[in-house]
Amino acid sequence: MTDFRAFRIRHDDAGHRAGIETMDTSGLSPGEVLVKAAWSSVNYKDALAGTGKGKILRQYPLNGGIDVAGHVAASADPAFREGDAVLCTGCGLSETRDGGYGEYVRLESRWTIPLPRGLSLRESMALGTAGFTAALALLRLQDNRQAPSLGPVAVTGASGGVGMLAIDIFSRAGYAVHAISGKAEHFDFLRGLGAAECIDRHALAFSGKPMDSVRFGGALDNVGGATLAGLLPLIAPYGNLALCGNAGGIAYEGTVMPFIIRGVSLLGIASAGTARDLRARVWQRLAGDWKPRHLDRIATREATLEELPQVFDQMLAGGSFGRTLVRHRDAA
């Protein structure tokens, strides 16, 4: 048993509470692989969970943090040995099991990914769920024949974590990325990441017609709602829209026309439940030919466990820009 510190989230008759607690490794969720955490990251979902402003945890108490990277401290599965560098994103962390905001985390071996050659632990968390989601979307798009020749790929919510990483990854993979963002002050930054064009979302007027002139070969939509409905009629024949977010709402009104006249496909992206073989493929690409070229510009901040509440508040107030890494005490 080892004592360690964790940012632990509770909800009981007294309401929501979250903060630093000391616990020991025998109190962690079950799993074959005990990991000494080095890095985690902050996603929107982490902010909702940590503040209690969204119902993310399905049981209490749990340590927060949907992402983690570190070294194996002990393993009951011979596939992992002490000292191995590993990572995990999603897979129930901070939903049904203790997450990456503990200095130790116990993982199920089936969801533990050996750190691929080409990525440091810190880089893997600069990517985290956001980078994994962007790359998973690209894999799904390509598996459904999304070629650069179909036309530019629109990325909505472009100044968010998924959006920025998607711009970098998609442009590196040869696509012309049209970044759709509400933050015109960041357009130069987004162009620096690889966006061929930046479009102000406030000035983007969708016609509301069931079909419209083709404008994009495909899209990655972080926003959903009316944006999803507006984009579908603009996608080229046999292009795809990969849908991963709901920053703009969950309900959308649309018609069947883009699907049955142009053969457009709507691809759902659910990173947390991705099958292990696909998960491993995505991480291999992220460490290799899809590794973002501007990770150090995108992951600009580091926070300690103590600083998390203030990071969450800023994120939920819409005041954060770029990804925030969580640095554990022994991170190299």
Ligand X SMILES: NC(=O)c1ccc[n+]([C@@H]2O[C@H](COP(=O)([O-])OP(=O)(O)OC[C@H]3O[C@@H](n4cnc5c(N)ncnc54)[C@H](OP(=O)(O)O)[C@@H]3O)[C@@H](O)[C@H]2O)c1
Among 247, 264, 267, 286, contact with ligand X (rule: CB under 6 A):
247
| H-helix segments, 208-307 | 225-231, 257-261, 276-287, 295-298
| Tokens matching residue 106 | 């116990």
Stretch that binds ligand X, among 51-59, 97-105, 181-189, 212-220 (CB under 6 A): 181-189
Residues 183-222: x where in contact with ligand X by CB under 6 A, - otherwise, as a string: x-----------------x--------------------x
Draw the binding track, 136-175, toward ligand X (x: CB under 6 A; -: no contact). ---------------------xxxxxxx------------
The reply to whether 271 sits near ligand X by the rule CB under 6 A is yes
Euclidean distance between CA atoms 306 and 143, whole angstroms: 42
CB 94 within 8 A of CB 18: no
Comparing CA positions, the residue from 165, 161, 138 lying closest to residue 247 is 161
C-alpha 315: how far from chain center: 15
State the Cα torsion 230-233-239-242 to the nearest 10°.
20
44 binds ligand X (CB under 6 A): yes
Q: Is 161 helix (H, G, I), strand (E, B) or coil?
A: helix
User: Does 181 participate in binding ligand X (rule CB under 6 A)?
Assistant: yes
- Does position 41 bind ligand X by CB under 6 A? no
Near ligand X by CB under 6 A: residue from 33, 130, 298, 303: 130
248 part of the interface to ligand X, by CB under 6 A:
yes
112 touches ligand X by CB under 6 A:
no
Q: Cβ of residue 45: shortest distance to ligand X, in angstroms?
A: 6
Contact 257, 211 (CB under 8 A): yes
Please give the size of the binding site for ligand X, defined by CB under 6 A.
Answer: 27
25 vs 324, which CB is nearer to ligand X? 324
Angle between helices 308-316 and 44-51 (to 10 degrees): 110
Q: How far is the CB of 11 from ligand X (least distance, A)?
A: 21
Considering the complex, state which of residue 43 and residue 94 has its C-beta at the smaller distance from ligand X: 43
Q: Residue 21 region, left (φ>0) first, then alpha (ψ -120 to 50), else beta?
A: beta
The amino acid occupying position 76 is: A
> Could you give the CA distance from residue 312 to residue 54 in angstroms, rounded to a whole number?
12
Q: Does 282 bind ligand X (CB under 6 A)?
A: no
We find the least distance from the C-beta atom of residue 166 to ligand X, in angstroms, to be 9
CB of residue 159 to ligand X, shortest distance in Å: 3
**Min. distance of Cβ 221 from ligand X in angstroms?**
9
Its sign, for the CA torsion 55, 56, 61, 63, is negative
- Position 327 contacts ligand X (CB under 6 A): no
Under a CB-based contact definition with an 8 Å cutoff, are residues 262 and 103 in contact? no
Nearer Cβ to ligand X (162/173):
162
- Is 246 an interacting residue with respect to ligand X (CB under 6 A)? yes
Which residues in this chain contact ligand X in the complex, by CB under 6 A? Answer: 43-44, 129-130, 133, 157-163, 181-183, 201, 222-223, 244-248, 269-272
